[in-house]
Amino acid sequence: MCAISHLLPSLLNHSNGELMAYEITEDCISCGMCADECPSDAIKQDGILYRIDQELCTECGTCEETCPRKTVVKTEREAS
Ligand code: SF4
Ligand code: SF4
């Protein structure tokens, strides 16, 4: 794997000015499966839920595929 890919932030700047990022919703049951499978070690437990560190996430999508509850979602938000 290209070493620089680990440095890329998860926020993708799209031509329409929107930013995209994977996020974990409050329906997370804290099973930890996504954290175990994340190749970038970007998912950590934060209280009773798990959170994605947007600085480490490389948008690979593994967590979205792994989550048994489908509580990892790709969100769009406006660029500031
Ligand atoms: S998209 Fe990939 S790198 Fe980002 S949190 Fe999920 S598994 Fe980790
Ligand atoms: S795999 Fe899904 S339910 Fe399990 S900790 Fe990750 S986000 Fe939460």
CB 12 within 8 A of CB 20: yes
Number of domains in the chain: 1
- Domain harbouring 58, CATH code: 3.30.70.20
Q: In the structure, which protein residues have their CB atom closer than 6 angstroms to any atom of ligand 2?
A: 24, 28-34, 50, 66-67, 69, 71-72
Instruction: Give nearest CA residue, ligand 2 atom 8.
Output: 28
pTM of the model: 0.78
Pair 48, 32: CB distance under 8 Å? no
Token output for 32: 């930890």
Which pLDDT score is estimated for 69?
Answer: 97
Range of the domain at 18: 5-78
Going from the Cα of 25 to the center of ligand 2, the distance in angstroms, rounded, reads 9
Contacts by residues 39-45 (CB-CB < 8 Å, ≥ 24 positions apart): 39/1, 40/6, 42/10
- Per-residue confidence of the chain (80 residues) as pLDDT tens digits? 444 444 444 455 555 566 789 999 999 999 999 999 999 999 999 998 999 999 999 999 999 999 999 999 999 865 55
